[in-house]
Amino acid sequence: MAGSRLDPIDRKILAELQADGRMTNVELAKRVGISAPPCLRRVRTLEEAGYIRGYHAKVDARELGFEVQVFAMVGLQSQAEADLSAFEQRCRDWPLVRECHMLNGEVDFILKCVAPDLSTFQSFLTEQLTAAENVASVKTSLVIRGAKDEPGVPFDVLEQRLARSA
Protein backbone atom coordinates (compact mmCIF):
# COMPACT_ATOMS: atom_id res chain seq x y z
CA MET A 1 0.00 0.00 0.00
CA ALA A 2 1.39 3.40 -1.02
CA GLY A 3 0.56 5.17 2.26
CA SER A 4 2.53 2.62 4.25
CA ARG A 5 5.79 3.89 2.70
CA LEU A 6 5.39 6.97 4.85
CA ASP A 7 5.95 6.97 8.57
CA PRO A 8 3.29 8.30 10.96
CA ILE A 9 4.96 11.73 11.21
CA ASP A 10 5.03 12.15 7.42
CA ARG A 11 1.35 11.19 7.23
CA LYS A 12 0.53 13.65 10.03
CA ILE A 13 2.43 16.40 8.17
CA LEU A 14 0.42 15.68 5.03
CA ALA A 15 -2.88 15.65 6.94
CA GLU A 16 -2.10 18.94 8.67
CA LEU A 17 -0.96 20.66 5.47
CA GLN A 18 -4.01 19.37 3.61
CA ALA A 19 -6.23 20.94 6.29
CA ASP A 20 -4.27 24.21 6.40
CA GLY A 21 -1.51 24.76 3.86
CA ARG A 22 -0.85 28.30 5.14
CA MET A 23 0.43 27.41 8.59
CA THR A 24 4.03 28.23 9.39
CA ASN A 25 6.64 25.51 9.63
CA VAL A 26 6.93 26.25 13.37
CA GLU A 27 3.19 25.66 13.86
CA LEU A 28 3.31 22.52 11.72
CA ALA A 29 6.26 21.15 13.70
CA LYS A 30 4.39 21.80 16.95
CA ARG A 31 1.27 20.00 15.67
CA VAL A 32 3.19 16.90 14.57
CA GLY A 33 5.45 16.82 17.63
CA ILE A 34 8.91 17.47 16.16
CA SER A 35 11.21 20.49 16.02
CA ALA A 36 11.10 22.95 13.11
CA PRO A 37 14.31 22.04 11.19
CA PRO A 38 13.51 18.33 10.71
CA CYS A 39 9.90 19.23 9.97
CA LEU A 40 11.02 21.53 7.14
CA ARG A 41 13.33 18.81 5.79
CA ARG A 42 10.44 16.33 5.82
CA VAL A 43 8.13 18.77 4.02
CA ARG A 44 10.78 19.38 1.34
CA THR A 45 11.28 15.61 0.94
CA LEU A 46 7.51 15.09 0.63
CA GLU A 47 7.38 17.84 -2.01
CA GLU A 48 10.31 16.37 -3.98
CA ALA A 49 8.79 12.87 -3.82
CA GLY A 50 5.53 14.19 -5.27
CA TYR A 51 3.30 13.64 -2.24
CA ILE A 52 2.75 17.41 -2.09
CA ARG A 53 1.93 18.77 -5.53
CA GLY A 54 1.21 22.36 -4.59
CA TYR A 55 -0.44 24.83 -2.25
CA HIS A 56 -3.65 26.57 -3.25
CA ALA A 57 -6.16 29.06 -1.95
CA LYS A 58 -9.72 27.77 -2.09
CA VAL A 59 -11.54 30.64 -3.77
CA ASP A 60 -15.30 31.12 -3.92
CA ALA A 61 -16.20 30.98 -7.60
CA ARG A 62 -19.60 32.63 -7.08
CA GLU A 63 -18.08 35.53 -5.15
CA LEU A 64 -15.81 36.08 -8.14
CA GLY A 65 -18.75 36.13 -10.54
CA PHE A 66 -18.66 32.54 -11.81
CA GLU A 67 -22.33 31.76 -11.29
CA VAL A 68 -22.53 28.67 -13.50
CA GLN A 69 -21.00 25.28 -12.76
CA VAL A 70 -21.61 22.40 -15.18
CA PHE A 71 -20.54 18.79 -15.47
CA ALA A 72 -20.13 17.72 -19.09
CA MET A 73 -20.02 14.03 -20.03
CA VAL A 74 -18.08 13.65 -23.26
CA GLY A 75 -18.06 10.69 -25.62
CA LEU A 76 -15.31 10.46 -28.23
CA GLN A 77 -15.44 8.83 -31.66
CA SER A 78 -12.03 7.20 -31.15
CA GLN A 79 -10.44 5.98 -27.94
CA ALA A 80 -7.00 5.43 -29.44
CA GLU A 81 -4.34 6.66 -27.02
CA ALA A 82 -3.26 9.49 -29.31
CA ASP A 83 -6.87 10.71 -29.56
CA LEU A 84 -7.39 10.48 -25.78
CA SER A 85 -4.19 12.44 -25.17
CA ALA A 86 -5.15 15.06 -27.74
CA PHE A 87 -8.52 15.59 -26.05
CA GLU A 88 -6.89 15.83 -22.62
CA GLN A 89 -4.52 18.49 -23.97
CA ARG A 90 -7.45 20.45 -25.40
CA CYS A 91 -9.11 20.35 -21.99
CA ARG A 92 -5.96 21.72 -20.35
CA ASP A 93 -6.07 24.62 -22.84
CA TRP A 94 -9.73 25.54 -22.18
CA PRO A 95 -9.94 27.96 -19.22
CA LEU A 96 -13.57 27.11 -18.39
CA VAL A 97 -12.66 23.43 -17.88
CA ARG A 98 -11.42 23.17 -14.30
CA GLU A 99 -11.27 19.37 -14.04
CA CYS A 100 -11.03 16.62 -16.63
CA HIS A 101 -11.29 12.93 -15.75
CA MET A 102 -11.23 9.95 -18.10
CA LEU A 103 -13.84 7.35 -17.13
CA ASN A 104 -14.70 3.81 -18.05
CA GLY A 105 -18.25 3.01 -19.03
CA GLU A 106 -20.68 4.88 -21.23
CA VAL A 107 -18.82 8.19 -21.37
CA ASP A 108 -15.13 8.76 -21.98
CA PHE A 109 -14.59 11.95 -19.96
CA ILE A 110 -16.32 14.05 -17.36
CA LEU A 111 -15.44 17.73 -17.26
CA LYS A 112 -16.13 20.17 -14.46
CA CYS A 113 -16.66 23.60 -16.00
CA VAL A 114 -17.29 27.05 -14.57
CA ALA A 115 -18.54 30.15 -16.34
CA PRO A 116 -19.71 33.61 -15.34
CA ASP A 117 -23.12 33.04 -16.93
CA LEU A 118 -25.11 30.56 -18.97
CA SER A 119 -24.51 32.29 -22.30
CA THR A 120 -20.72 32.11 -21.80
CA PHE A 121 -20.97 28.39 -21.09
CA GLN A 122 -23.30 27.87 -24.05
CA SER A 123 -20.80 29.60 -26.36
CA PHE A 124 -18.02 27.37 -25.04
CA LEU A 125 -20.22 24.30 -25.47
CA THR A 126 -21.26 24.99 -29.05
CA GLU A 127 -18.18 26.72 -30.42
CA GLN A 128 -15.42 24.75 -28.73
CA LEU A 129 -16.40 21.57 -26.91
CA THR A 130 -18.93 20.01 -29.31
CA ALA A 131 -16.97 21.37 -32.28
CA ALA A 132 -13.70 19.82 -31.11
CA GLU A 133 -12.12 17.11 -33.21
CA ASN A 134 -13.11 13.55 -32.22
CA VAL A 135 -16.01 14.63 -29.95
CA ALA A 136 -19.02 12.45 -30.71
CA SER A 137 -21.41 13.46 -27.93
CA VAL A 138 -21.72 15.82 -24.98
CA LYS A 139 -24.32 15.64 -22.23
CA THR A 140 -24.36 18.41 -19.64
CA SER A 141 -25.76 18.77 -16.14
CA LEU A 142 -26.03 22.17 -14.50
CA VAL A 143 -25.10 22.20 -10.82
CA ILE A 144 -27.93 23.55 -8.68
CA ARG A 145 -25.93 23.52 -5.43
CA GLY A 146 -23.00 21.72 -3.90
CA ALA A 147 -23.30 19.71 -0.72
CA LYS A 148 -19.64 18.78 -0.32
CA ASP A 149 -16.38 19.90 -1.89
CA GLU A 150 -13.55 18.31 0.05
CA PRO A 151 -10.18 18.14 -1.71
CA GLY A 152 -7.46 15.65 -0.88
CA VAL A 153 -7.80 12.29 0.83
CA PRO A 154 -9.37 11.12 4.12
CA PHE A 155 -6.28 10.54 6.28
CA ASP A 156 -8.35 8.99 9.07
CA VAL A 157 -9.38 6.20 6.67
CA LEU A 158 -5.73 5.67 5.70
CA GLU A 159 -4.66 5.45 9.35
CA GLN A 160 -7.43 2.94 10.14
CA ARG A 161 -6.43 0.80 7.18
CA LEU A 162 -2.76 0.86 8.17
CA ALA A 163 -3.63 -0.03 11.76
CA ARG A 164 -5.62 -3.08 10.58
CA SER A 165 -2.76 -4.31 8.37
CA ALA A 166 -0.10 -3.86 11.08
CATH of residue 49's domain is 1.10.10.10
Looking at the fold, whether 51 and 72 belong to one and the same domain comes out as no
122-147 pLDDT, tens per residue?
Answer: 999 999 999 999 999 999 999 999 99
Residue 139 bridge partners (DSSP) = 73
Total structural domains within the chain: 2
Q: Is residue 136 part of a domain?
A: yes
In a domain, 166, yes or no: no
- Reported as a single tens digit per residue, the pLDDT across 81-138 is 999 999 999 999 999 999 999 999 999 999 999 999 999 999 999 999 999 999 999 9
Q: State whether 82 and 106 are in the same domain.
A: yes
DSSP count for the chain of H helices, then E strands: 6, 4
Domain match, 51 and 86 both? no
Query: Is residue 153 domain-resident?
Result: no
Q: Which domain holds residue 108?
A: 68-142
Using a pLDDT cut of 90, give the percent of the chain over it: 89
Backbone angles phi, psi at 129, to 5 degrees: -65, -60
Are residues 79 and 98 located together in one domain of the fold?
yes
Q: Is residue 136 domain-shared with residue 81, that is, in the same domain?
A: yes
Residues 72, 50 within the same domain: no
Helix 25-32 to helix 36-48 angle (10° resolution) is 100
**Do 36 and 76 fall into the same domain?**
no
Model pTM? 0.86
